[in-house]
Structure 1
Amino acid sequence: MDFNLKEIAAAFMILFAVIDIIGNIPIVIDLRKKAGHIQSEKAAIVSGVLMVVFLFVGKSILGLIGVDVNSFAVAGSFILFFIALEMILGITLYKEDDSDPMTASVFPLAFPLIAGPGSLTTLLALRAEFNTENIIVGIILNVIFIYIVLKTSSKIEKLIGKNGINIIRKVFGVILLAIAVKLFATNIKALFV
């Protein structure tokens, strides 16, 4: 095992920006109102398991359909780019349907809000650059943070306020935009070598 603090920190920050659990607090609060209760533990664990499983079998699934990791990473960079634009400009390019309150902790909270197309694409892109064990630690740290945020979402909203959440969302949007550009530049070279 080759644990690297720099890689762990990078994997954590990239996933944190993509998952954007702070920016999703308004959605979490809305889901809580509709469902009456959200199982924070269930949502965090299911999303963590989905991310770890995809980290290991995602490449095999891609192999079955004849797509290499670099091509997937380039495609992923476009998804990250659009997610970043949503965060920065405050627009919605993709809207999820409302879910049944009984299953709100798993769908749409764990999937696709937390472990969605953006985070799953990011995991495969990270796998092309970082050691797997460092990515797993990054996932675990995010799951712990997600759990804390889900448990305390009402208090966080009161503490930070709507403007605070909007500012955090825009800052992480800019970081995510930079990550998308780097991901694109790194992997596009590999496709033409």
Structure 2
Amino acid sequence: MIESFLTAFIVYFVVIDPIGTAPIFVAVTGHQDRSGKVRTAIEATIVATLIMLFFAICGSWVLHYLKIGEPAFKIAGGLILFLVAWEMLNSKRQTRKKIETTNQSLEKGLFKASAANHQDKDQESVAIFPLAIPLLAGPAAVTSVMVISADFNSSFTMILTGYAALLAVMLATGAILALTGLAENMIDARLSNVFSRVTAIILAGLSVQFIVDGLMVLGVIKAPIL
């Protein structure tokens, strides 16, 4: 069970990527004071957690309704997660996140100075978009939640293990973003980049394993002899 927890934890942590999201968090909350940044981090984390818990609980029903088999979804999810890992290895994912966030934020006027009586409303807006969606609970994160949930549905204990891993990662994410708001000057972009690349290698290996598991269930390949 510990091994399963660690596997799910690593996948969620790498895909949600709170370390890589931290510099973007600083950019989109630049107009807020420290307490506002902490509140924004907490609100964004809560919203993202609720979204991913929804897909973790209802994901199998969605697949059943769409008549998508779990092996096929594992293979598709593994391919998507591998592409995410590839982007992270080439430093493309964080760059793309920054570009998308900047463009979307400029369109909504999130970087404009706001009056004091509009600060709470603006804070809530930033917490939901673009922080919770799509930076934290993006397509890759939702896919990973559904893949892990499908893989961990063999017993009630395994299901709880998957939920525990997700909640642990989201707690860590909220803590990292909140600390970022308190000590944004201590963020080293180079260190964040190195960490993202190292964890991307782990994600690449896990994504390939998802694909292999799906192919084995379909009978395309035989189980390897370890």
Short-chain TM bin? 0.7 to 0.9
Q: How many residues align?
A: 190
Does the CA-based 8 Å contact 2:60-2:150 persist in structure 1?
A: no
C-alpha deviations, 1:26-49, integer Å up to 9, x for none?
211111126775411111111111
Structure 2 equivalent of residue 118 of structure 1: 140
Unaligned runs of 5+ in 2: 111-121, 153-157, 221-226
**Alpha-carbon distance between aligned partners in 2 of 1:22 and 1:156, rounded to the nearest angstrom:** 14
What are the equivalent positions in structure 2 for 1:17-36 lying under 5 Å apart? 17-33=14-30
Does the CA-based 8 Å contact 2:17-2:196 persist in structure 1?
A: yes
Unaligned runs of 5+ in 1: none
Counterpart code for 1:98: Q
Identity percentage of aligned residues: 27
TM-score by length of 1: 0.88
1:145 Cα shift? 0.5
Does the CA-based 8 Å contact 1:55-1:123 persist in structure 2?
A: yes
**Alpha-carbon distance between aligned partners in 1 of 2:24 and 2:168, rounded to the nearest angstrom:** 22
Does the CA-based 8 Å contact 1:72-1:121 persist in structure 2?
A: no
Moved more, 84-93 or 57-66: 84-93
Between structure 1 and structure 2, the one with the greater Rg is: 2
RMSD: 2.1
C-alpha deviations, 1:9-41, integer Å up to 9, x for none?
221111001111101212111111267754111
Does the CA-based 8 Å contact 2:20-2:193 persist in structure 1?
A: yes
**Alpha-carbon distance between aligned partners in 2 of 1:68 and 1:156, rounded to the nearest angstrom:** 46
Structure 2 equivalent of residue 146 of structure 1: 173
Structure 2 equivalent of residue 43 of structure 1: 44
What SS does the aligned partner of 2:212 have? helix
